[in-house]
Each structure stands twice: as C-alpha cells, then as structure tokens.
Amino acid sequence: MTGAAIACFEGAREYALARKQFDGKSIAGYQLTQEKLADMLQEIVKAQLLALRLARLKDEGKATPVMVSLAKRNNVKAALDIARSARGVYGANGITDAYPPVRHMLNLESVFTYEGTHEVHTLVLGKAITGIDAFN
C-alpha cells in the first residue's frame, strides 16, 4: 500500500515540476500544489513508520490482530487519499489512464474493500477500544 502511495507522490511531484501553466511557471511553484505534496509525503512517512513498528513487534512476538487491523485500516486509507490527491495535481489528466493515479486509485479501492474491508477493521478496533462486540 505504501508502494502505491509513493508511486503516486513521486509521479505527482514530477508532473507538477514539469507542468507549466499561465505565465510559464511550474505548477509545483503554487502553494496549493506544494500543500498537496507536503500532505502526501507526511502521510507516507506516517504509514511507513506504522508498518515498521508493526514489523518489529511481529519479530518480537508482540504483534496482535488488533494492531494489524489498525495498520491496514490506516495505511490503505492513507494510500487511497494520496492517490486521490495526486489525481488532483494532474488536473483533468489525472482521470485518464495515461497517468498512474487512476490505476492506483482503482487498485486501492479494491484493497479497501477486499483486504478485510475498512468497516470490518473499524469494528475490530471498536471492540478493542470499548470491549463491546458490535458484530452481533
């Protein structure tokens, strides 16, 4: 999931640097584009740190299914949000299959659904937080 997020971020950054608009200025020089790129990078780093921590806990035999649910829930949603934000950097080009954001968005939408759906991970976390099983 972080791989797709990184690909979207890197593609959006390269596109923003190369895309000239209005007075010939790169769109990477505009505040809103820089904000999108900064937000994407921030979420990637957070997702990587979460995955690293979970991997270390697994190596120590301390990882739990609840921790896995939390990481999957967070990192899939973060990657999907990054793909959507990257699509925005591409503008109208972002909705064509000529550029990677839409392909990654579609793949991530399926992961959001079939990898233990976001809602199921939410219920797993809810039970861990409250002690009440909302499945029944």
Residue 63 half-sphere exposure toward CB, CA atoms < 13 A = 17
Angstrom distances, CA of residue 47 to CA of 71, 88, 128: 8, 21, 21
User: What is the spatial distance between Cα 85 and Cα 38, in angstroms, rounded to a whole number?
Assistant: 11
Tokens read off for 34: 């820089």
The 3-state DSSP class for residue 134 equals coil
Q: Which of 10, 35, 109, 115 is catalytic?
A: 115
Is 115 known to be catalytic? yes
User: What is the spatial distance between Cα 100 and Cα 93, in angstroms, rounded to a whole number?
Assistant: 10
Q: What is the DSSP letter of 27?
A: G
Pairing verdict, β 20-21 and 25-26: antiparallel
Catalytic residue list: 115
